[in-house]
Structure 1
Amino acid sequence: MSPIPAAQDSAPEAVPTRRTARTWGRRTVIGAGLAALSLTGLGGMFRAGPDEDEAALTDLSRAGGAPTGERWHGSHLQIIAHPDDDLYFMNPLLQRSIAEGSTVATVVMTAGEADGKNSPTDDDREHERTPTDKPGYTEARHNGLRSAYALMATGNQRAAWRREVVTLGDGAQVERCTLAERPAVQLYFFNLAQNLHGSAKAPDGTGVRMRTLWSQDVPLESTLPGTGSPVTQPQDFSRDRVVACLVDLLKQRRPTVLRTLDPDPEHDPYEPGISLADHIDHTATAQFVLAALRQYTEQTGERPVVEHFRGYTSKFWPSNLSYAAKAEKRKYLMPYAGYGAPCPANDCGDYQVRPDPGDSTHIISTAYRYTPDTDWLVKDGTGRLNAFAVLGGRVAHWAEQAPGSGSWGAVRYLAGDWLMPRLQVRLDKAGRVQLVALRRWAGEKDAVGVEVVRAVQSTPGGDFGPWESLEGPDYGNSDQRVRREIGGPAAAFDADGRLHVFVRNFAHGLSHRHELPQGGWSPWQKLGGARLQDAVTAFTGHDGTVQVFATDTYGVLRWRQAQPGGEFREERIGVPVPVAGSVTPVESAPGRLTLYYREAGSCDVVAYRQESDGEHWPPLPAVLAGHDGIGEVAVARHGSGGRGGTAVADRAGSGLLSLLVAGPGTGGIAWAESGGQLVYAPALAEDSTGRMVAAVIGTDARLHLTRRSAPDGGSAFGPWTTV
């Protein structure tokens, strides 16, 4: 975080200074203070009497054990704008990477010098009287970040660091800090400042900022070394020089996971027009990272996991972290604010986030910009399982070598331009896999293009054809800020085999496009909704009707066809507590849905099952807890009749896969964790032999799978297979 200068865009400025960021937007902290529901058991789900779904959920309480734990060590690189973006927007996932012993490096692009006043008081008048010392404030923020990383890695925030100069690209110098006790943990400081040779204005009067460097409205941005930095002299950086240095760092670090910020943040849904809702340095940093990643992947062929995290915009939506996770984030923010160590010189941390750095809307969530899907493991028309993920801007595709064999071929990458991480995987009536994604490109200056694209297999198990553009609901708008804010796609086939695609539009409502009987596509049509989270899911019921679900700050909206091929009608599902992210719908019995999702605030996984009439919903869902997990919930049906069941999986608070299995000696429902650290969200599917398979993408950027030993829902999962 860092203050925003006066408005530098044609839109009204709506971003707080550092000293007001703690309370700005508090009206939108929907889930932060909600009390957890105290519910036990699944009794509330069965008031309508026994049917196939009762057998399915009862099967969960008899489920076999989870596979044994493993560790899939990766190399993690975070590239952020300010020295606290990682603590606010990427933790607790960052801490999990450090705790597992992986190589972790964080690159901070700006000096974060702000007004240079490191005042320890919350009194604005006292703050104004504090002397300005921009190099000193930069150093204080760096000291705070080093303390936070030391605490995460060693448990001692005073652990020693080694500071040195490293040379990148064409001779540019940056500071590298290595934690002496844990040398695999490093920090890099570029120190790009809001000035050019001592002035905050370029010769043409343009304000100097990361955004203006990216757009080339200013040709150069100079650095501001912090007090005590081993890099003692300011340097000038052009846009190309920044990109070249990042490419050089990528080649040195070879990350398997690259974390950065949101390149296309949403506008403030509570303000008219296009009001900036995230820090312009966050956006520009993500733009620089994407430019460097393109060059890096083209030159090396490496395809890391790329995770984009929301910044300030997380505050608009319900909290997606448990109480324990929010407390953990606050724990590692305290040393960043200079707490926990004597500091007579007032340079041990960032005092501008005091008195409580956790008293901020930034702490309530750790949210991906592109909500992950859980349907990326699918059985095609040949009977083979297929897995898909977007790695390094390309679709990675793994396929079983024979149906049910558990033997997998090497990963293959689909050709095409840069894709963002959200991917929809759907099976058509012919047994072919169809993929729907978001394609993004950068144009002149800071122009950006984003569109929905589709790729189709030629035959079941065959090669994929080229990506076809479906444009987007705001594609024709003359303002690229409107076009680029498109949400992640959701897709489903109707009874006639025609694909329907849904996205959140710029107005934060739902838009829809579908294939026509005579070929081609319908125009994009607005279905309604307002202030929707970018977390849309769609599926096709047994009767061939398409249903789509979206969540807002209050609950769940559903659009469904009254009959196959019919128009969509909107209705609200009255969930008792707002939803954190998306819902996973399952037709647990013909015409009867169960929604799985996380409740805001507590982030417990719940199952919300329709009444037997297929229309009404009960007063309360069944709470399945979930080990302080984060992210979307994977659900899959298997078997039929009395042997049928439902498998549920998520990413636990530990970062491992969590499967719903029997608690030891209780006969009740409990979660069992397994595997190693994963990214995005898990997937579940039944193979050709009827055995349930769980799949994850690990932090090593590889596919990992575990499979039950028999079709029986009570059988245990076997060892992990790494592809």
Structure 2
Amino acid sequence: MQIIAHPDDDLYFMNPLLQRSIAEGSPVATAVLTAGEADGRNSPTDDDKEHAKTPADKPGYTEARHNGLRSAYALMATGNQQAAWRREVVTLGDGAQVERCTLAERPAVQLYFFNLAQNLHGSAKAPDGTGVRMRTLWSGDVPLESTLPGTGAPVTAPQDFSRDRVTACLLDLLKQRRPTVVRTLDPDPEHDPYQPGISLADHIDHTATAQFVLAALRTYTEETGARPVVEHFRGYTSKFWPSNLSAAAKAEKRSYLMPYAGFGAPCPANNCGDYQVRPDPGDSTHLISSAYRYTPATDWLVKDGTGRLNAFAVLGGRVVHWTEQAAGSGSWGEARQLTGDWLMPRLQVGVDRSGRIQLVALRRWAGDKDTVGAEVVRAVQTAPGGEFGAWESLEGPDYGNSDHRVRREIGAPAAAFDADGRLHVFVRNFAHGLSHRQELPGGGFGPWQKLGGSVLQDAVTAFTGHDGAVQVFATDTHGVLRWRQERAGGGFRTERIGIPVPVAGAVTPVESTPGRLTLYYREAGTANVVVYRQESDGVHWPPLPAVLSGHDGTGEIAAARWGSGRNGASSGTAVADRAGSGLLSLLVAAPGTPGIGWAESGGQLVYAPAMAEDSTGRMVAAVIGVDARLHTARQSSPESASPLGPWTTV
């Protein structure tokens, strides 16, 4: 289920993953909250004078955008953008009426239009003079927002919506559909890193929509016990960062935007699509990426001090935990849910020297009006294989700032243990630099400290080497920065790694041999999976990295060493990502061998895959599926040429 602000947010920001869900045959519903009527002039905006000559018709423009969205979904689902739809009125919440559109050939594909408009209550203004719209409705600065029915829509009469009514309708829709995946927009978009002060970098309707969705989801999960995957997608802020899609993926996104813009079908009434995005709807920075707001970790599958594998995911705002029933058995116990307040999707998982698992996450809550609270939190097992204690607040680098807009931009946390077993936590701060907080020898944590960097992507990974020294990697618009301890327990020194092409997202470091690092990442502009390995001296880097493959994948790269060579077993490295098909793509190779090549398997996955070696020396791959369940597959033997066995759904 997608819940978005405008009738193109899904096409620009959530594809190609949206299309993969449709292609798989999953039931798909998208709720569009606003009418998106803008100035009501349905003509290209690249020529201001010509655009101004177009008569303003807000109901007509709303209907045109809806027609375009129906055409795009019809093309994604049936291959025919002119496939028929059934349009009807449905009642939600306390009697509110919304339009539901059902694709006749694929009835499991549905669209819901709420049609909340702006400035229809002319006297209702926010204190700063802003007219009525989603943000001021959410903040309470205006009490009501009216709807704007499109021309010819089955819902003909305007309605008034309060903040509570919008939330109640979304709650009702969630209860009716019971989605396993909820996709929405960015609730806490970053400011423009190239402008002074706090400059809005995303559409305010995107932010408010995500706030409404989170409010509805909180109540929904509490009342029903449901645990859906929640995916937040960046909006306009993707333009600041390197493109994470291949040329083929961008072309595919554009192909579904063309019918949205009214191309490909006769249209005598000139209302078959959104002409404001013409002449080319693909000529936009919105097209270059499809990126999560909270960069997923790839280390959420770990082996604890008992030798059993443990898997974790944030589902429905809570951590869900699976544990092997016996070490190396491949049999898993039932999922357990940790208690606590709402967490955002990023979860960092680590195992300390005693074999206990420690979790680091980002907790978020809504305050008065449109204020937001956010902080880093930690939970620790009482003993290896034991229960988890309560979440402990580690605050954040900007926690004491009086402006909640500064506090809410905290990045997704990364963490690692040093040689003394102390936890180090890293996040991107409001200034787009890196901040660090470390556990003290006697317990507790020292203050947050700035480590430097500027215009960093919110894609930080931490790693502890064979020597016990902590290293942390962050990407910017040029390449990769590394902070590393000069020695175990020492201070951090910064260096730039000379990667010739920028990185899209995070890097995944693996110590291929003691003291020698290999970085795996997705190359900007091509989405190729790239490997960059240090020279044998463990200091220098080669002039160029090696490209493993492209396969039009998206998201972060999981990589893990497996096989210790004990008892004559071989060793190697496994690399996995989400391929363009939406399935797991895996490469397994041992030193001096060509490996078994890339192989796709399993079903559609969310977030990012994870891998770990079990107690028998076999490599295990794990994903969270679009069914919000854990899926695992193991090598049939510890040998390098051994492929993955069948997938098991836990």
Would you say same fold, with TM above 0.5?
yes
| Cα deviation, residue 207, structure 1 | 1.3
CA shift digits 1:452-492 (9 cap, x unpaired):
00000000000000000000000000000000000000000
Q: Find the aligned partners of 2:425 and 2:147 in 1 and give their Cα distance.
A: 46
Contact 1:387 1:398 in 2 (8 A): yes
Structure 1 residue 681 and structure 2 residue 625: aligned? no
Q: Determine the C-alpha separation between the residues in 2 that align with 1:129 and 1:196.
A: 23
- Residue 473 of structure 2 is aligned to residue 546 of structure 1: no
Instruction: Check conservation: 1:196, 1:202, Cα contact below 8 A.
Output: no
Question: How far did 1:661 drift?
Answer: 5.0
What's 1:49 paired with? none
Q: Which residue, out of 535, 539, 557, partners 1:611?
A: 535
- Equivalent residue for 2:201? 277
What letter corresponds to residue 615 of structure 2 in structure 1? S
- Of the three residues 395, 398, 404, the one matched with 2:328 is 404
User: Number of residue pairs matched?
Assistant: 644
CA positional deviation for 1:713 = 1.7
Deviation readout 1:635-661 (Å, 9 max, x if unpaired): 110113582100111000000000115
What is residue 645 of structure 2 aligned with on the other side? 718
State the partner residue of 1:262: 186
Question: Displacement of 1:124 after TM fit?
Answer: 1.2
Deviation (angstroms), 1:612: 1.1
2:62 aligned partner, one-letter code: T
Q: How does 1:231-270 map to 2 (within 5 A)?
A: 231-270=155-194
* Mapped partners of 2:186, 2:545: distance in 1: 33
Distance 1:315 1:428 in 2: 38
Report what 1:443 is aligned to.
Answer: 367
TM-aligned CA deviation for residue 440 of structure 1: 0.3
Q: Return the letter of the residue paired with 2:90.
A: V
Partner Cα distance (1:376, 1:534) in 2? 18
Q: Which letter maps to 1:692?
A: M
* Contact kept in structure 2, 1:559 and 1:571, CA below 8 Å: yes
Aligned to 1:35: none
Matches of 1:198 and 1:119 in 2, distance apart?
26
Alignment check: 8 A CA contact 2:30 2:111 kept? yes
2:6 equivalent in structure 1? 82
Q: Distance in 2 between matches of 1:298 and 1:328?
A: 38
Secondary structure at 1:534 match in 2? strand
Residue 711 of structure 1 and its aligned partner are, at CA, apart by: 1.1
Q: CA deviation at 1:669?
A: 6.1
What is the deviation of 1:670? Answer: 3.0
2:175 maps to 1:175: no
- Change in CA separation of 1:661 and 1:638 when aligned onto 2, cut-off 3 Å: closer
User: For 2:51 and 2:521, how far apart are their aligned partners in 1?
Assistant: 44
Distance 1:608 1:235 in 2: 58
On the 8 A contact 1:206/1:218 being kept in 2, the answer is no
Q: Residues of 2 paired with 1:613 and 1:667: CA distance?
A: 24
**CA offsets per residue over residues 320-358 of structure 1, 9 Å max, x none?**
001110000000000000000111211000000000000
Q: Within 5 A, what are the aligned runs for 1:488-499?
A: 488-499=412-423
Distance 2:278 2:444 in 1: 57
For residue 602 of structure 1, the aligned residue among 526, 534, 551 is: 526
Residue 120 (structure 1) shift: 4.6
AA of the residue aligned to 1:420? M
CA positional deviation for 1:122: 3.5
Corresponding residue of 1:6: none
Distance 2:46 2:208 in 1: 30
Q: Residue 82 of structure 2 aligns to a residue in which SS?
A: coil
The residue that corresponds to 1:471 in the other structure is 395
Counterpart of 1:207?
131
Indicate the residue corresponding to 1:318 in structure 2.
242
Q: Single out whichever of 452-461 and 113-122 deviates more from structure 2.
A: 113-122
- SS in structure 2 at match of 1:631: strand
CA distance in 2, matches of 1:197, 1:508: 39
- Offset at residue 312 of structure 1 (A): 0.2
Q: Which residue of 1 aligns with 2:219?
A: 295
Which amino acid is 1:299 matched to? E
Which residue is equivalent to 1:590? 514
Q: What do residues 511-551 of structure 1 show as CA deviations (whole Å, max 9, x unaligned)?
A: 00000112111100000000000000001000000000000
Give a deviation string over 1:237-256, Cα, whole Å, max 9, x none: 00000000000000001000
Change (3 A) 1:269 1:202: closer
The answer for the alignment partner of 2:446 in structure 1 is: 522
Seen in structure 2, the aligned counterparts of structure 1 residues 193 and 406 have a Cα distance that, compared at 3 Å, is same
- Take 1:528 and 1:85, find their aligned partners in 2: how far apart are those partners? 34
- What residue is the counterpart of 1:37 in the other structure? none
Counting only pairs closer than 5 Å after superposition, residues 74-223 of structure 1 correspond to structure 2 as 77-120=1-44, 122-197=46-121, 201=125, 206-223=130-147
How many Å apart are 1:198 and its aligned residue?
A: 5.8
Counterpart AA for 1:718: G
Instruction: Give a deviation string over 1:147-172, Cα, whole Å, max 9, x none.
Output: 00000000000000000000000000
Q: Which residue of 1 aligns with 2:411?
A: 487
**Distance in structure 2 (CA, Å) of the matches to 1:519 and 1:455:** 14
Q: Could you tell me whether the CA contact under 8 Å between 1:472 and 1:524 is conserved in 2?
A: yes
Instruction: Check the 8 A contact 1:661/1:672 in 2, yes or no.
Output: no
> Residue 588 of structure 2 contacts residue 640 of structure 2 at CA under 8 Å; is this kept in 1?
no
Q: Specify the SS of the correspondent of 2:370.
A: coil
Conserved? CA contact 2:595–2:641, under 8 Å: no
1:264–1:503 CA distance, 2 compared to 1 (3 A): same
Letter in 2 for 1:508: H
Alpha-carbon shift at residue 114 of structure 1 (Å): 0.2
| Deviation at residue 206 of structure 1 after TM alignment | 4.5
Say if 1:100 and 1:80 are closer, same or farther in 2 by CA, change over 3 A: same
RMSD in angstroms over aligned alpha carbons? 1.3
Cα 1:199–1:103 shift into 2, 3 Å? farther
Describe the SS at the equivalent of 2:459: coil
**Equivalent position of 1:333 in the other structure:** 257
Is 1:651 matched up with 2:575? no
- CA separation in 2, counterparts of 1:198 and 1:159? 39
- Going from structure 1 to structure 2, the CA distance change for 1:359 and 1:206 (only over 3 Å counts) comes to closer
Cα separation, 2, equivalents of 1:202 and 1:311: 24
Shift in alpha-carbon separation, 1:486–1:577, aligned structure 2, 3 A? same
Three-state SS of the structure 2 residue aligned to 1:339 is coil
Q: Report the secondary structure of 2:209's partner residue.
A: helix
CA distance in 1, matches of 2:287, 2:247: 11
8 Å CA contact retained: 1:262, 1:369: yes
Determine if contact 2:526/2:550 at 8 Å carries over to the other structure: no
What TM-score results when the alignment is normalised by the length of structure 2? 0.98
Residues of 2 paired with 1:640 and 1:153: CA distance? 47
Query: Could you tell me how far 1:716 is from its partner in structure 2?
Result: 2.1
Partner of 1:431: 355
* C-alpha distance in structure 2 between counterparts of 1:359 and 1:314, whole Å: 15
- Secondary structure at the aligned position of 1:670 is classed as coil
Name the CA distance, whole Å, in 2 between partners of 1:325 and 1:261.
20
How far does residue 668 in structure 1 lie from its aligned partner after superposition? 6.6
Say whether the 8 Å CA contact 1:87–1:333 is kept in structure 2: yes
Q: Which runs of 4+ in 1 moved over 6 A?
A: none
Using CA pairs under 8 Å that are at least 6 residues apart, name the structure with larger relative contact order, 1 or 2: 1
Partner of 1:71: none
Report the Cα distance in structure 1 between the residues aligned to 2:626 and 2:471, rounded to whole angstroms: 33
Question: Distance between the aligned counterparts of 1:156 and 1:128, measured in 2?
Answer: 33
- Quote the offset at 1:196 in angstroms: 3.4
Provide the C-alpha distance between the structure 1 equivalents of 2:613 and 2:164, rounded to a whole number of angstroms: 48
Asked if 1 retains the 8 angstrom alpha-carbon contact of 2:87 and 2:100, the reply is: yes
Determine the C-alpha separation between the residues in 1 that align with 2:47 and 2:458. 38
Contact 1:196 1:220 in 2 (8 A): no
Please tell me whether the aligned partners of residues 348 and 360 of structure 2 are also in contact (alpha carbons under 8 angstroms): yes
* One-letter code aligned to 2:258: M
Tell me what 1:393 maps to. 317
- Deviation track 1:8-40 (CA, whole Å, cap 9, x = no partner) reads xxxxxxxxxxxxxxxxxxxxxxxxxxxxxxxxx
